[in-house]
Structure 1
Amino acid sequence: MTRCRLCGSEAMASVVDLGATPPCESFLAADQLDLPEPAYPLHLRVCTDCWLAQIPPLITPEETFKEYAYFSSYSTSWVEHARAFVADAVERLDLGADAFVVEVASNDGYLLKHLVERGIRCLGVEPSVNVGAAAREAGVPTLTEFLDPDTGSRVRAEHGPANLVVANNVYAHIPDVVGFTKGLRALVADDGWVSIEVQHLLTLIEENQYDTIYHEHFQYYTVASAIRALASGGLTLVDVELLPTHGGSIRLWARPSEAAGEPSARVAEVLDREKAAGLQELSGYTEFSARVAKVRRDLLKFLIEAAERGETVVGYGAPGKGNTLLNHCGIRPDLLPYTVDRNPYKHGRFTPGTRVPILPPERIAADRPDYVLVLPWNLRAELTEQLSFVGEWGGRLVFPIPELSIVEVGA
């Protein structure tokens, strides 16, 4: 990577190099195990002019999202998060029966279904054919498209301007950040609102959340860099919320620049926190690579010592972040014989690169392992409760990030 995709600068500094891995959602079917598997460098850099952290666009969104393995509705806590957001947004923006809401990257309708239930007109713009079909089957109007300025203009012309445009966990997923932002502006009414949720680079750095670096995440935002990205499409940040989702996210409330007004005090507060953490100078990034290496060493040491003691360790979950972790650590079936997942789409498949089998969740109770390695560590509270039955036979949970943690559960 020689130029920043936001500002065009060539002043790019290395943050962490995770080697080469396959795309994190490219789960393998059994008949693919003897075929070549492409892997791409996974090297995070930061632009020292605009401070947008980014990886090279080595794969295209079309490769990732034509058929997508992630269905939002399989996370109980995420569905509840969406329900609460809708309730708050309806009250905050006074959205009535005449309102129109568009969600970009609407997945299987997990969020918009709450608007459908309220009788509020809505539309999902979702590029993945399979999850978009699931949304339509659930009664959520969904357009199978990627968002760009042309798509935004066509939707606006056909359906009218949106009072609210929601873009949750997608602003990192598009290499053309300027074009995508212009698409958001095309969708939203001149006096409307845009709400974006994206992982916060501050917590990624502070909490060693390096497994959230993968090829479908092209950039990683601070509030400071998000302000610059929004401005590239004619949007202005007016408020920000700090959220616990995905280990630490920011909810950005933006408006068309001509209607924005002054930003809230919370914007200045978060900007001050980022500056204090050194994220607008190289000092905030220099130690991250060493802390990532320690996560790897600690997890491998635990797995190797457990194997030498004859203890069994299996996985829970097959999230994209888990595949970054497994590949970076070189964890294969000799150390992790299988993982389980609630999503039936993944059953009978294998994790990319490391070829760990993915089985139904019931397998854990049947096998009674000594340890369960929780790969979606960001759902720690939810999964500690869900997996409390592991304590019935003295089993324990293992969380690898921000540091190795072994937890006793159950009575």
Structure 2
Amino acid sequence: MTRCRLCGSTALESVVDLGATPPCESFLAAERLDAPEQTYPLHLRVCTDCRLAQIPPLITPEDTFSEYAYFSSYSSSWVEHARAFVEDAAARLGLGGDSFVVEVASNDGYLLRHVVDRGIRCLGVEPSVNVGAAAREAGVPTHTAFLSPETGAEVRAEHGPADLVVANNVYAHIPDVIGFTKGLRALVADDGWVSIEVQHLLTLIEENQYDTIYHEHFQYYTVASAIRALASGGLALVDVELLPTHGGSLRLWARPEETAGEPSRRVADVLAREKAAGLQELSGYTEFSARVAKVRRDLLRFLVTAAEEGRTVVGYGAPGKGNTLLNHCGIRPDLLAYTVDRNPYKHGRYTPGTRIPILPPERIAADRPDYVLVLPWNLRAELTEQLAYVHEWGGRLVFPIPELSIVEVER
């Protein structure tokens, strides 16, 4: 029987069932195309007791992150987002030469490089061997490990307590949410700060962002469920920011509960928004599955019509979320000839499940397709600018979420 990983309840209600898919980052090398792929159910449920939305932990973080295909630095807007965060956090917390910053799931050093540039001592804790090596090559000190209470205690014993612990886009990626939170508490100084960025379940549901449901994401947070999760490890939420990243994210500012003090007015405001949307009951979840089905029908209708009219459609980007969309919709190379990606690690590989080739971005200008389906729709502004050149031959951009949108771009 499935139990809630935060409170242990068996009272889990279905939110949306996306069938079964391969892990979203398991891109296939050409020599694996004739081999079978393992698929796993992708079924989001919400706990009616603590309201944590979650999928079963059918794969382990070790399966996904020992070698990882995602390098944060290939997104210019994400690197800029990290730079702005470091600048703001340094001012907010008074970080300087005597401070110590730890980032958990630090990837290729995309954020900590800005900490290094400010002369602040720092350390990345990154489980993926390949991206951690890239961070070290870029001059960012990086420890290869998954965070646990024991890892946190070891890092603290060797390097001292952290004035700031950053955990961006990782709090959803760990099935042992309680152990991970205790690891954050082990890292942070008793008077320090923890900053967590994670997708907001409110915008996921309101904007039909179902493609961000995949096996790497074990849970999806509201502020209400995040408060409970943080408390499980001895941390208390003191402030929250609403961010546009990933279609709508939370930046949670937490401190050790003994020094946290009262939460800000912004915490109460977001809790009120979530309550008004029905997310503290079940009413806010009931229509989501039907709206997801409409996204699928609209996209397939567009692709089938384009194929029947002899028009060419290719993809831009090969993000994990794109693989949820492609698999749920049953899109194959007959409807999407290929996709491109800036990450050379993915070139020559194929998307999991749907077997769509991944090519370098230059292929779009060479082939001049009629339509470019943008899979990382959350980078709409950045990619609309990058892809403005498709206007030269009358090409158009297609964004599948929150609803199908066909855009004529201009120089």
TM bin (shorter chain): over 0.9
Deviations 1:41-76 (A, max 9, x none): 000000000000000000000000000000000000
- Root-mean-square deviation (CA), in Å? 0.4
Structure 1 residue 410, shift from structure 2 partner: 1.7
- Alignment of 1:389 with 2:360, yes or no, is no
- Alignment of 1:101 with 2:75, yes or no, is no
Residue 371 of structure 2 corresponds to which residue in structure 1? 371
Residue 201 of structure 1 corresponds to which residue in structure 2? 201
Instruction: Name the CA distance, whole Å, in 2 between partners of 1:47 and 1:289.
Output: 17
Residue 115 of structure 1 corresponds to which residue in structure 2? 115
- Alignment of 1:210 with 2:194, yes or no, is no
Instruction: Name the CA distance, whole Å, in 2 between partners of 1:96 and 1:141.
Output: 17
Residue 244 of structure 1 corresponds to which residue in structure 2? 244
Instruction: Name the CA distance, whole Å, in 1 between partners of 2:36 and 2:297.
Output: 28
SS of the equivalent of 1:101 reads: strand
Residue 80 of structure 1 corresponds to which residue in structure 2? 80
Q: Is the contact made by 2:236 and 2:256 (CA closer than 8 Å) also made in structure 1? A: yes
Residue 316 of structure 1 corresponds to which residue in structure 2? 316
Kindly provide the amino acid, as one letter, of the partner of residue 41 in structure 1.
P
Identity %: 88
Q: Is the contact made by 2:2 and 2:56 (CA closer than 8 Å) also made in structure 1? A: no
Give the TM-score normalised by the residue count of structure 1.
1.00
Residue 68 of structure 2 corresponds to which residue in structure 1? 68
Structure 1 residue 400, shift from structure 2 partner: 0.1
Instruction: Name the CA distance, whole Å, in 2 between partners of 1:120 and 1:2.
Output: 44
Kindly provide the amino acid, as one letter, of the partner of residue 373 in structure 1.
L
Gaps of 5+ in 2: none
Residue 332 of structure 1 corresponds to which residue in structure 2? 332
Structure 1 residue 39, shift from structure 2 partner: 0.3
Instruction: Name the CA distance, whole Å, in 2 between partners of 1:191 and 1:141.
Output: 24
Instruction: Name the CA distance, whole Å, in 2 between partners of 1:268 and 1:118.
Output: 34
Residue 348 of structure 1 corresponds to which residue in structure 2? 348
Instruction: Name the CA distance, whole Å, in 2 between partners of 1:11 and 1:165.
Output: 33
Deviations 1:232-280 (A, max 9, x none): 0000000000000000000000000000000000000000000000001
Structure 1 residue 220, shift from structure 2 partner: 0.1
Residue 273 of structure 2 corresponds to which residue in structure 1? 273
Instruction: Name the CA distance, whole Å, in 1 between partners of 2:183 and 2:249.
Output: 22
Residue 149 of structure 1 corresponds to which residue in structure 2? 149
Deviations 1:291-349 (A, max 9, x none): 00000000000000000000000000000000000000000100001000000000000
Residue 23 of structure 1 corresponds to which residue in structure 2? 23
Structure 1 residue 2, shift from structure 2 partner: 1.9
SS of the equivalent of 1:259 reads: coil
Instruction: Name the CA distance, whole Å, in 1 between partners of 2:404 and 2:331.
Output: 15
Kindly provide the amino acid, as one letter, of the partner of residue 229 in structure 2.
A
Q: Is the contact made by 2:103 and 2:125 (CA closer than 8 Å) also made in structure 1? A: yes
Gaps of 5+ in 1: none
Q: Is the contact made by 2:102 and 2:166 (CA closer than 8 Å) also made in structure 1? A: yes
Q: Is the contact made by 2:238 and 2:262 (CA closer than 8 Å) also made in structure 1? A: yes
Give the TM-score normalised by the residue count of structure 2.
1.00
